Chain A
Amino acid sequence: MEEFVIPKQAGANYLNAEHGLKSWLLTKDHKRIALLYLGAISFFFFIGSLYAMAIRLELLSPQADLVQSSTYNKMFTQHGIIMVFFFLIPSIPATLGNFLIPMMIGAKDLAFPRINLLSWYIYILGGGVTIYALLAGGVDTGWTFYVPYSTTFSNSYVIAAGLGIFINGFSSILTGLNFIVTIHTMRAPGMTWYRLPLFVWAHYATSLIMILGTPVIAITILLVALERLAHIGIFDPAAGGDPILFQHLFWFYSHPAVYIMVLPGMGVISELIANFSRKNIFGYKFVAFSSLAIAVFGFLVWGHHLFVASQSVYAGMIFSFLSFAVAIPSAIKVFNWTATLYKGSISYDTPMLYALGFIGLFTIGGMTGLFLAALAVDVHLSDTYFVVAHFHYIMVGGTLLAYLGGLHYWWPKISGRMYPEGWGRFSALVIFVGFNLTFAPQFVLGYLGMPRRYHTYPADMVSWQVLHVLSTAGASILGFGLMVPLIYLAWSLRYGRIAEANPWKLPGLEWQTASPPPTENFLTTPIVTTEAYEFAPPEHKSVVGRFARQPPAKV
């Protein structure tokens, strides 16, 4: 790969190629669109976090003291809706994925740049409609929109919020479509499937879920909105409809959607683990195909959300069985990451700290999923704080950490500046500690019987309050920890050290061009002749001992 011509730093890059607001709002450059997403997604994360803080404050005491029940219900609903649909699902794919997939496969752009821009506008439109719903009075159905509460009994802005999610769904579909077509048709010469970075594999699997699952939630939400509008009765028992059918349709998407949320994170982690230990990933094909396996099996387990919902006992058993089966590909990933560290050259840079944190927290989050997949235990744990802890462990401890890790890792490429390493490590540590303090107590709380979506709880449960106080304390530390990167990343845009083209000295294609990259990524179409994560040239494979010879100096 020595033959790349790396553009001079001072030359034109995607950031300064054009100027003015219009050049951003009408851009078709995947890198600029990624930044548009980054901005919008951060905004939604901020809103969602405010709700989280309000929830935690309210739960400090058993009584209602900050807000009324109706407000509390809106808080967790809106927290859930914003975090899931407008933050976590688009987070890694639409920002890092958008930015990096074309670069990683050696393409100039995604296959459909205009559609890419369109999906951002759709996202903004969907987000706008949802924000309207929040401002107009909010929704209080829970992010799951269970009928008949959402169709007939709720007095809140269900239609507007549903419409927002419906619209946003098309953004997700179009992103997935764009990724799939791009990965199939736009790979550079020599970029075979097995040379793709695992980040790309993970996004391929994610896109599969996006295009196969999202249409189903779209039609389901549409039916809920119509039912609410016209009282037609498709899910209404009074007309012969069946509320459980809604739950099937909802979870047919929403369980796979949790893998939309975690697979891109896993892709980031594969990159981080391999690159920061300077090793090829252990069992490349297993890690690659486990992503596909998760995407496929992920569609077979949705009924584990209905174990106590009066689903057939036998269907429950099938779904439970399959839920255990889907744990295996995740296990394969965890073990392969761990094995990759073996005899590596491990650096302690901030992205790696996030990656290591991810493995631990994802393991806990995933393993607690097994409690919930075990039928008899789920009967006790369903709809308690155990579930809340389970999914925050994966979504916050897992995906959010992966997102932060990836953002730090690629920050030099994206912005052309380095972030301050010391602050980075410091905040990674604070976040790790704060996170565990927030959500570990909730496991205990859940087994003790505290139901979720509860504004108040019995005052005689002293142990419950103790755990809630711990959790709130943890959330404050977590919140502080999250604010630090927000500040120093913004700071670094101006004052950070100028980044080299390849600050981490890595073989990935995205590092073989300038930081920030030029508009069409590479000056000439690259020709790929090496495997992914190939640090040492092939002739070094035979060398005995832990290290190969000194590498040929990279530019």
Chain B
Amino acid sequence: MQSWFPFIPESASTYSGDVDALYFYISGVTIFFTLLISFVIIFFVIKYRRRNPTEIPRPIEGSMKLETLWSVIPLLIAMTIFFWGAKVYFNQYRPPQNAIEVYVVGKQWMWKFQHATGQREINELHIPVGRKIRLIMATEDVIHDVFVPAFRIKTDVVPGRYTTEWFEATKPGRYHFFCAEYCGMNHSGMGGYVVVMDPTEFENWLSGNANQMSPAAAGQQMFESLGCASCHGANAEGGRGPALLGVYGNNVTLNNGQTARADEGYLRESILNPQAKIVTGFGPIMPSFQGQLSEEQLLQLVAYVKSLSTTKTETPTAKPAPKK
């Protein structure tokens, strides 16, 4: 699609084709209506120009038929756009299973990435082609946003919670990514590159940077150093606090009889605001760790608790994903 002058950015994810198709469709509708209205107006303006300063044209009252026609047709067209857009969006925002997870922390004005295998990067993200990648994103300060034009994805990173975004790159290459939520002085400098690599190349890259501790392992160390283990047991097998094995990804029954799905957001809340949702059979004795952990450390603790669960997430090895 790259002509002498680009009108659309490079298209490098499974999602970008869908977005482009819809974009072209709406463009078609827009061009059609704009031309239609312009032509009709120009035609009328020339044909019915004032020829005599005193002429008074005959009044025309209006027409119910026409009004209906030009309300219903645009409505129908608009609805096709709505449903199409909603469908693509829905799929894009549902978290995929079996994705490679990357932890992302934004802060004024840089991005930190950490792979599940421990590799850390700043303002650059290396990922393998043809695999689902899921970013779990947090921010230390204000709202930021990870925007990769070539993948047609964008999600705000909001303080106080995790947001996620996923994609599957289809073409190796170096793609710009930007912070797309205004965040202060250096907002326009808060970007970098997503480097999409062939599986083998990626494998090499991983092993070339393999000396760092995985987030789950770092989380495990903190689990001991912060004293979590004193209640939850050295291996999180339980004690004064509930066992954390197999919590992630399942439903937890709370003491008020409701259930909550234990996703990353739930784990985050359990650590920062443990009183909010109390597991049935336990008292509200867990202290809050609000203000004692950086977003990165928190993500590591969450990664550790997740690693205790059988709901496996993929590790970023280069095995091609099983194709169905």
User: Do these two chains interact?
Assistant: yes
By the criterion CB–CB under 8 Å, are A346 and B48 in contact? Answer: yes
Interface membership of chain B positions 58-72, coded 1 if the CB is closer than 8 angstroms to chain A and 0 otherwise: 111111001100110
A153-B184, A280-B59, A283-B62 known; A379 vs B78 contact (CB < 8 Å): no
Binary B-proximity of A442-463 (CB < 8 A = 1, otherwise 0): 0010011101011111100101
Confirm or deny: B133 has a beta carbon within 8 angstroms of a beta carbon on chain A.
Answer: no
Cα A377 to Cα B181 with chains together (Å): 17
- CB atoms of A356 and B41 under 8 A apart: yes
Closest chain A CB from B77 CB (angstroms): 9
Given contacts A310-B155, A449-B149, whether A463 and B5 have CB atoms under 8 Å apart is yes
A341 at the interface (CB under 8 A from B): yes
B291 within 8 A of A: yes
Query: Is A344's beta carbon under 8 Å from chain B?
Result: yes
Bound-state CA distance A364–B35 (Å) is 10
Contact between chains at B88 and A375 (CB < 8 Å): yes
* A550 touching B50, Cβ below 8 Å: no
Contacts of A328 in B (CB 8 A): 71, 74-75, 78
Whether A278 pairs with B74 at a CB distance below 8 angstroms is no
Residues 132-164 of chain B: 1 if any A CB is under 8 Å from the residue's CB, otherwise 0? 000000000111010101101111101111010
A297 lies within 8 A of chain B by Cβ? no
B251: Cβ under 8 A from any A Cβ: no
Closest B residue to A77 by CB, please name it: B182
Judging by beta carbons under 8 Å apart, are B78 and A380 in contact?
no
Q: A70-B185, A324-B79, A371-B26 are in contact. Are A310 and B163 (CB under 8 A)?
A: yes
Task: Return the CB mask of A356-369 against B: 1 if under 8 Å, else 0.
Answer: 10011001100110
A148 and B180 contacting across the interface, CB-CB below 8 Å:
no
Which of A534, A541, A549 has most B Cβ within 10 Å? Answer: A541
Given contacts A324-B81, A370-B30, A455-B188, contact A379 B19 (CB under 8 A): yes
Question: Which residues on the B side are within 8 Å of A548 (C-beta)?
Answer: 56-59
A4 CB to nearest B CB, Å: 19
Please give, as numbers and ranges, the residues of chain B lying within 8 Å of A343 by CB-CB distance.
48, 57-58, 60
With contact pairs A328-B75, A374-B85, A543-B58 given, residues A73 and B70 touching in the complex (Cβ less than 8 Å): no
Known contacts A324-B81, A370-B81, A449-B149; is-contact A345 B55 (Cβ 8 Å): yes
Task: For the complex, give the distance between the alpha carbons of A324 and B75 in Å.
Answer: 8
Interface presence of B171 (CB below 8 A): no
CA distance A51 to B203 in the complex (A): 50
Question: Which chain A residues (460-515) contact chain B, with CB distance < 8 Å?
Answer: 461, 463, 466
Contacts of A284 in B (CB 8 A): 62
Contact B59 A374 (CB under 8 A): no
Q: Which residues of B contact A325 (CB under 8 A)?
A: 75, 78
A483 to B259, CA, bound (A): 65
Q: What are the interface flags for A153-167 relative to B under an 8 Å C-beta threshold, 1 for contact and 0 otherwise?
A: 110000000000000
Query: Which of A107-115, A189-197, A249-257, A329-337 forms part of the interface with chain B?
Result: A329-337
Residues of A within 8 A of B27 (CB): 371
Q: Which of A133-173 contact B (CB under 8 A)?
A: 140-142, 146, 148-149, 152-154
Q: Which of A331, A335, A373, A540 contacts B58 (CB 8 A)?
A: A540
Given contacts A376-B92, A447-B8, contact A363 B37 (CB under 8 A): yes
B56 & A377 in contact (Cβ 8 Å cutoff): no
Q: A377-B85, A379-B152 are in contact. Are A237 and B67 (CB under 8 A)?
A: no
Contact with B along A301-320 (1 / 0, CB 8 A): 00000011110010011001
B273 interface hit (Cβ, 8 Å): yes
Once the chains are docked, how many angstroms separate the CA of A324 from the CA of B78? 6
Q: Interface 1/0s, chain B 2-45, versus A by CB < 8 A?
A: 00011111000000001100110011011001100110110011
**Whole-angstrom distance between the alpha carbons of A316 and B180 in the complex?**
19
Interface residues of A in 410-468 (CB under 8 A from B): 444, 447-449, 451, 453-458, 461, 463, 466
Say yes or no: is A520 at the interface (Cβ < 8 Å to chain B): no
Chain B: interface secondary structure? Answer: mixed
**A348 adjacent to chain B (CB < 8 Å):** yes
Tell whether A10 is near chain B: CB-to-CB under 8 Å: no
Tell me the smallest distance from the CB of A339 to a CB of chain B, in Å: 7
Instruction: Check: A20 CB closer than 8 A to any chain B CB.
Output: no
Partner of B155, one of A238, A308, A338: A308
CB-CB under 8 A from B149, the residues of chain A are 380, 448-449
- Most chain B CB within 10 A, of A347, A380, A461, is at A380
- State in angstroms the CA–CA spacing of A154 and B108 once bound together: 11
Given contacts A371-B26, A449-B178, contact A237 B160 (CB under 8 A): yes
Query: Chain B residue with minimal CB distance to A323?
Result: B82
Instruction: Indicate if A45 sits at the interface (CB-CB under 8 A).
Output: no
- Check A341/B19 contact, CB under 8 A, given A316-B89, A375-B86: no
Considering only residues 372-419 of chain A, those with a C-beta below 8 Å from chain B are: 373-380, 382-384
**In the assembly, what is the distance between CA of A379 and CA of B149, in Å?**
10
Q: Are B180 and A451 in contact (CB under 8 A)?
A: yes
Contact A367 to B30, CB < 8 A, known contacts A376-B22, A548-B56? yes
Q: Which of A238, A277, A332, A376 contacts B290 (CB 8 A)?
A: A238
A7 to B14, CA, bound (A): 73
* B-side contacts of A125, CB under 8 Å: none
A-B CB contacts (within 8 Å), total count: 307
A150 closest partner in B (C-beta): B142
A374→B44 contact, CB < 8 A: no
The one of B51, B56, B62 in contact with A550, judged by C-beta atoms closer than 8 angstroms, is B56
Contact of A338 among B40, B57, B158 (CB under 8 A): B40
Given the known interface contacts A379-B152, A449-B149, the answer about A313 and B90 at a Cβ–Cβ threshold of 8 Å is yes
A327 within 8 A of B: yes
| CB under 8 Å from chain A, chain B span 231-245 | none
Q: Return chain B residues, CB-CB under 8 Å to A456.
A: 188-189
- Residue of A238, A324, A336, A373 with most partner-chain B CB within 10 A: A324
Contact yes or no, A370 B26, CB < 8 A: yes
Cβ of B145 and Cβ of A383 under 8 Å apart? yes
Cβ A448 vs Cβ B60 within 8 A: no
Whether B41 lies near A449 (C-beta < 8 A) is no
Residues of chain B lying within 8 A (CB to CB) of residue A535? 56-57, 59
How far is A378 from B79 in the complex, measured between Cα atoms in Å? 16
Nearest CB to that of A457 among chain B residues? B188
Q: Are B57 and A277 in contact (CB under 8 A)?
A: yes
Does B302 belong to the interface (CB within 8 Å)? no
Chain A contacts for B82, CB-based, 8 A: 320-321, 324, 373-374
A148 touches B154 (CB 8 A): no
Contacts of B289 in A (CB 8 A): none
| CB neighbours of B154 from chain A (8 A) | 308, 379-380, 382-383
Nearest-Cβ distance from residue A257 to partner chain B, whole angstroms: 19
Q: Is the Cβ of B59 less than 8 Å from the Cβ of A541?
A: yes
Cβ-defined contact, B62 with A341, below 8 A: no
The contact sample of 10 A-B pairs, CB cut-off 8 A, is: A149-B142, A242-B160, A344-B48, A348-B49, A360-B41, A363-B37, A367-B34, A374-B22, A543-B58, A549-B56
Which 4 pairs show the lowest CB-CB distances between chains A and B?
A237-B160, A449-B149, A374-B85, A375-B89
Beyond A153-B108, A356-B45, A453-B188, list 4 extra A-B contacts (CB 8 Å): A243-B160, A313-B90, A320-B86, A335-B66
